Structure 1
Amino acid sequence: MAMRKTMRNLHNKTTLFLCLILTVCLSSCASVPKEFPINEQRAYTAEKSEQIFSRYSPFFIIENFKEPFNLIGTVRARLDKKGEEELYVDPEKAAIYVQKRTFETDKGSYTNLIYRVHFERVPFSLVPFYLVKGENVGIFVIVTLNEKGEPILFTTLHTCGCYLGFIPTSYLPEEALPEKWDKKDQWVYGYTLPGLLQYPPTFKNEIRPVIIIRSGTHRMKNVQLGETDELLKTYDIFDAQLKAMEELEAVPVSEGQRTSFFETSGSRKGYVKGSHKPLERLLMSWWAFDWRIGEDKKLSIDKSDGPLFYTSLKPWARKESDLRDFAAFLQYWGWGL
């Protein structure tokens, strides 16, 4: 009898907990995200330079710029009152961290231009529910170029590996699309993104990808193409300083002292310092089999450096969906480059 009573109590508590989760999720889904007018939006793009990253840089459109946590910032370090280092994102100055990588397949050679930006935080919110609450969060936009220098694919995701999206362009051969790909639109974790971006027959650098970023969660809610001149007329444009990705591992703390944005030892090696996702850990880690689910991390050059950068929640697909091996990553997701 005692055992039955214990099991009944456990069942009731579990049911209550699941109902609470469902209530929170439904309330967040029922709330319509606020739309912000143009005068409450801000555009960031890379500062003008001769670098290839400047020529292909996306325009990042952020909403509700009066909130510092919505602003693209620069990673900085300081010493607290105890003399211990603290890594944070300074919203007063925008930076885009960049890196160029190449990869080959049986069909050709390709170049990836990797753009990484960070925000101060995702604030706590129940309605709407912000599952991704945390500090020092970031997003990636990866521009894949063919041998002609034409952008053929945009890959978007958060720096934890979640909310992955692919947006092909008209320069990508038809046969490279995944089977039954919808060119009109696609559903990406609650947002409708285009299934194909149409470029003119001859590529012009004046046409750029425009990434619309939602207030609060920093989710990429839309991806478009825009003429640079028109964007300059529409938005307040802020130049973001281009910084090599390697600078994230040599952040000035004090005179003559530098530190890494990522943990360099222990069980969190390769993860962003201060990046903890308590709600994702509570609600997802137990069924995703990852105690550090949702935590932002380093995108290593190869598998010998840094944590696995999986992009699928299927535990058995972690290695196949690893972003570090981009050719294998694309193959896993059905792309025929």
Structure 2
Amino acid sequence: MAITRYLPLLGLVLCVLSACATPPVHLTPENSLAYNVSGEGRLADNAPLFVVENPAHDYNRIGSPIIEDVGDGSRIVSINPDTPQIFAEERSWAGQRGRYTNLVYRVHFSEIPSSILPFYLTAGKNVGLLVIVTLDERNQPVLVTSLHTCGCYLAIIPTSFLDPAALPEGWNSKEQYVYGETLPGILTYDGDPTLAKLHIWLRDGVHRVMAIRLEDAAGGIRYPQVTVTLHPKESLVRLPFADGETFSFFETDGPRKDYVHGSQKIWERLLISWWAFDWRVGEDKRLGRNTDDGPVFYTSLKPWARAASDLRDFPAFLKYWGWSL
């Protein structure tokens, strides 16, 4: 297709516009906050420790959805940064090399603020992040996948428990580049996976994953922390409201069905939608359990790769990106 010749140029322009070549930041206890999951079971045991930069800004803190009645039957959905919640679920699937379990973690923030310098392409409300820890049949983590809840900024990181034959051809085990962020090419466990804790650092303003590492689980946490309990991901469609009513975090009808309330992205619509052939590009959405459930959760902007890169079908998604689990 003729448009393919312009994709690298478009990607470069968008990268510059987004100020995505951001220098690394060394977080200190003075400019960071960690969210530590408590509880029992596989979801709690394998939950990442999220560390956010500059928590003094409300938009940098993990929050919880709230519903406000503004009269005339209208309701507004927003994120309260003072009550953090992490939503989680398990999903099992069969691959070429056995059966696997995805532990899916979802967090949301009040916004990516509007900014010209640096320019925040993804500015918008109620934005979110997904982290998926994939376990093998021995409950060993073999993959860590991160992306925003619009499907963008995808990173897939193997661990030392993954069979090297499952890696994409020519995989760089030292590092990988995700739109300006440098992430590891592999996460190396030293024996028992329960002795290490997955740490994920999120960048100020844009909530980009700027670092992922394994830390000694018994070594303590160097940052101020908040203890968080996990909530079932299904509870997002039944948020408590007045008089025992519930309300969904996602729109329930119309052209935005299954998209997060209020998550329109004006800059992405203006600059990307016309060549990605998606009016709702960049808008946060529900991750359906299969390809018949919810909107297509594509992870490639190539219009012809929309179905092949759909996160709802995890084995097909991995195959599209070159993995052979």
On the 8 A contact 2:29/2:224 being kept in 1, the answer is no
Q: State the partner residue of 1:158.
A: 148
- Deviation by residue 1:146-165 (Cα, 9 ceiling, x = unmatched): 01100000000000000000
Q: State the partner residue of 1:54.
A: 44
- Deviation by residue 1:255-291 (Cα, 9 ceiling, x = unmatched): 2211111111111111001101000000100011000
Equivalent position amino acid for 2:202 in 1: I
2:298 aligned with 1:328 = no
In 2, distance between residues paired with 1:103 and 1:56?
Answer: 18
Q: State the partner residue of 1:4.
A: none
1:206-245 equivalences under 5 Å are 206-232=195-221, 234-245=222-233
Distance 1:30 1:145, change over 3 A: closer
Q: State the partner residue of 1:11.
A: none
In 2, distance between residues paired with 1:244 and 1:77?
Answer: 18
Distance 1:155 1:265, change over 3 A: same
Q: State the partner residue of 1:176.
A: 166
After superposing the two structures, state which structure 1 stretch, 141-150 or 82-91, moved more. 82-91
1:1-337 equivalences under 5 Å are 25=16, 28=19, 32=23, 36-47=27-38, 49-201=39-191, 203-232=192-221, 234-337=222-325
Task: Give unpaired runs (5+ residues) of structure 2.
Answer: 1-8
In 2, distance between residues paired with 1:110 and 1:28?
Answer: 37
Q: How many residues align?
A: 315
Equivalent position amino acid for 2:241 in 1: V
On the 8 A contact 2:102/2:134 being kept in 1, the answer is yes
In 2, distance between residues paired with 1:27 and 1:279?
Answer: 10
Percent identical across equivalent pairs? Answer: 47
On the 8 A contact 2:142/2:162 being kept in 1, the answer is yes
State the secondary structure of the residue aligned to 2:199. Answer: strand
On the 8 A contact 2:17/2:119 being kept in 1, the answer is no
Query: Which one has a bigger Cα radius of gyration?
Result: 1
Q: Where is the helix percentage greater, Structure 1 or Structure 2? A: 1
Task: Give unpaired runs (5+ residues) of structure 1.
Answer: 1-17
Distance 1:168 1:267, change over 3 A: same
On the 8 A contact 1:24/1:127 being kept in 2, the answer is no
Equivalent position amino acid for 2:237 in 1: E
In 2, distance between residues paired with 1:37 and 1:139?
Answer: 23
- Deviation by residue 1:120-148 (Cα, 9 ceiling, x = unmatched): 10001111110000000000000000011
Root-mean-square deviation (CA, aligned residues, Å) is: 2.0
Distance 1:149 1:266, change over 3 A: same
On the 8 A contact 1:78/1:254 being kept in 2, the answer is no
**Structure 1 length as normaliser, TM-score?**
0.89
On the 8 A contact 2:112/2:205 being kept in 1, the answer is yes
Equivalent position amino acid for 1:221 in 2: M
After superposing the two structures, state which structure 1 stretch, 137-146 or 71-80, moved more. 71-80
In 2, distance between residues paired with 1:147 and 1:134?
Answer: 39
Distance 1:108 1:285, change over 3 A: same
Distance 1:24 1:301, change over 3 A: closer
Measure how far apart 1:179 and its partner are: 0.2
State the secondary structure of the residue aligned to 1:230. Answer: coil
In 2, distance between residues paired with 1:131 and 1:286?
Answer: 15
Equivalent position amino acid for 2:312 in 1: R
Distance 1:250 1:330, change over 3 A: same
Measure how far apart 1:328 and its partner are: 0.7
Q: State the partner residue of 1:10.
A: none
Measure how far apart 1:77 and its partner are: 1.1
Measure how far apart 1:83 and its partner are: 4.2
Measure how far apart 1:28 and its partner are: 3.6
- Deviation by residue 1:84-125 (Cα, 9 ceiling, x = unmatched): 111111111111100100000231000000000000100011
Measure how far apart 1:27 and its partner are: 9.0
Distance 1:305 1:193, change over 3 A: same
After superposing the two structures, state which structure 1 stretch, 83-92 or 267-276, moved more. 83-92
